[in-house]
Amino acid sequence: MKLRRILLLLPALLLISCGSSVEEEDSFTFTADDAEKISEILDRIENGQGTVESTEGLVEGALPLDSGVVVVEEEVVVDVADAHRFDALRSKLGSLEENTFRVTNAFVNVRESPSIQAPLVEELTQGALLKALSFPSAQWGEVQLEDGRHGYVSTAYIARVVSDEQLEAIKKQYEGQYEVNFAFLNVRAEPKAGALKLGELGAHELVKPLAIEGEWARIPYAGKEGYISSQYLKPYLPKLIVRQERFTIPLLRYRGDEAGIADTLVRHLAFLKAEGKNVITLRAFYDLLLTQQQRDTKIPGNYVILLIADATKETIKDIADALRASDATATIFVASDQIGADGISPDLIRLLSSNGNDVESAGKTGNDLRALTNQEVLTELAKSRQVLAELTGKEIIAVAYPRGGTNDRVMEHALQAGYLFGVTLNPSVGEGFDRSQLLMLPSNIVTSATTEQTLGSLLGK
Q: Is residue 451 part of a domain?
A: yes
Instruction: Mark whether 329 and 417 lie in a shared domain.
Output: yes
Q: Is residue 240 part of a domain?
A: no
Instruction: Mark whether 138 and 278 lie in a shared domain.
Output: no
Instruction: Mark whether 182 and 266 lie in a shared domain.
Output: no
User: Structural domain of residue 134, as residue ranges?
Assistant: 93-174
Instruction: Mark whether 417 and 350 lie in a shared domain.
Output: yes
Q: Which of 125, 143, 174 represents a domain boundary (last residue)?
A: 174
Instruction: Mark whether 148 and 197 lie in a shared domain.
Output: no
The tally of domains found in the chain comes to 3
**Interstrand relation of 107-111 and 120-125 (parallel, antiparallel or unpaired):** antiparallel
pLDDT the model gives residue 164: 76
Instruction: Mark whether 219 and 322 lie in a shared domain.
Output: no
The strand ranges marked E within 174-274 are 178-180, 184-188, 197-202, 206-207, 211-213, 216-221, 224-229, 233-235, 240-243, 246-247, 251-255
Instruction: Mark whether 187 and 271 lie in a shared domain.
Output: no
Instruction: Mark whether 265 and 358 lie in a shared domain.
Output: yes
- Per the rule left: phi > 0, alpha: psi between -120 and 50, beta: everything else, 189 is alpha
Determine the average pLDDT of the residues in 405-431: 92
Q: Is residue 72 part of a domain?
A: no
Instruction: Mark whether 231 and 338 lie in a shared domain.
Output: no
Instruction: Mark whether 250 and 214 lie in a shared domain.
Output: no
What Å distances lie between residue 203 and 47, 352, 437, CA to CA?
62, 57, 46
Q: Is residue 19 part of a domain?
A: no
Q: Is residue 272 part of a domain?
A: yes
341: DSSP letter: T
443: DSSP letter: -
pLDDT at 62 over 50: no
Q: What is the Cα 327 distance to its own chain's centre?
A: 24
**Interstrand relation of 184-188 and 197-202 (parallel, antiparallel or unpaired):** antiparallel
Q: Is residue 260 part of a domain?
A: yes
Q: Is residue 44 part of a domain?
A: no
Q: Which of 135, 154, 174 represents a domain boundary (last residue)?
A: 174
Q: pTM value?
A: 0.67
Instruction: Mark whether 258 and 405 lie in a shared domain.
Output: yes
CATH code, 351: 3.20.20.370
| Mean pLDDT, the chain, integer | 83
The per-residue pLDDT for range 192-221, each reduced to its tens digit, is 999 999 999 999 999 999 999 999 999 999
Determine the average pLDDT of the residues in 309-325: 95
pLDDT the model gives residue 145: 92
The per-residue pLDDT for range 254-307, each reduced to its tens digit, is 999 999 999 999 999 999 999 999 999 999 999 999 888 776 677 888 999 999
Q: Which of 174, 191, 223 represents a domain boundary (last residue)?
A: 174
Q: H/E element holding 445?
A: strand 444-446
Lowest-confidence region among 82-91, 155-164, 346-355, 377-386: 82-91
The per-residue pLDDT for range 16-38, each reduced to its tens digit, is 334 433 333 334 444 555 555 55
The per-residue pLDDT for range 389-414, each reduced to its tens digit, is 999 999 999 999 998 889 999 999 99
Q: Is residue 110 part of a domain?
A: yes
Instruction: Mark whether 383 and 320 lie in a shared domain.
Output: yes
404: DSSP letter: G
Determine the average pLDDT of the residues in 356-363: 96
CATH code, 142: 2.30.30.40
pLDDT the model gives residue 292: 80
Q: How far is residue 104's CA from residue 88's CA, in Å, rounded to a whole number?
A: 13
